[in-house]
Amino acid sequence: MGKPEHRDFFALDGATDNDSRSMSSSSATVFETLDDCIDQSCQLETMSLANLVGGHPIKRPKTTDLQPITFVRFNTSLEKAKPVTIKALLDSQGSESLVTKMFIKKLRLKKSSNSSTVWTTPGGEMRTNQKVKAQFTMPELHEDHLIEWNLCNPKALGKCNMIIGRDILQFLKIHLRFSDSVVEWDGSELPFKDGKATLEEAYHMAEGDVMDDAASRAKRILDAKYQKAYLKNVCQSQTK
């Protein structure tokens, strides 16, 4: 019976001349069992897969830079509601919340009596002693939850226009679950987004909201009274 072929299951090193001569000289060796023959062959011809891999580090695939980002509806006016959609980072590292100055030009600023505070933001360091009372919603989580908060206002915040810091996160009990990349607030969940995500490609519509809208529409259709209309009576009722 011929010797079994196992080489497909091993990572083989390049055979050297010494190894070849050793194999040829061992061809005349008499082994007591087949296992002894296989062990001798493995010692001369093969190397462990772990050693081979150790010499060639495995490159980890590049993953998407997921961040707790949401698109906020921010009111930019005092007299009449003029909301705009801006990109906000939920940042548990930041002690307070901020919004860039370009969205607060028509809002009422409040100057602090204390000395200006220095903030380290994605756009660099900034100094301010002003806050603005702002109103906004986070419709990707709860469209009907209006938030009113005093926000600091730097000139720029990098890729986002707003930072929601620990002050709001703790007050509203918003949880950032980095274990599964999910933002959780009052029963609603929002998956983390790519740091470069845009409104057009990454806006999240909660499945529950879609189903509720569809169910409400179906109920209105079913509840409608489908009966014969008397046009003369309808016209007379409209002219009274």
Tell me the domains of the chain and their CATH numbers. 7-55 (no CATH), 67-206 (2.40.70.10)
Q: Is the pLDDT of residue 9 over 60?
A: no
Higher local confidence (pLDDT), 111 or 5: 111
User: What's residue 137's pLDDT?
Assistant: 95
- pLDDT value of position 233: 75
55 pLDDT higher than 80? no
Q: What average pLDDT score do residues 82-103 get?
A: 92
Work out the percent of the chain whose per-residue pLDDT is above 90. 35
The token pair at 157 is 């915040």
104-147, pLDDT tens digit by residue? 988 988 876 665 666 665 556 666 678 899 999 999 999 999 99
Please give the average per-residue pLDDT across 213-228, as a whole number: 65
* Helix locations, the chain, DSSP H: 17-26, 34-45, 49-55, 166-172, 199-202, 207-223, 231-239
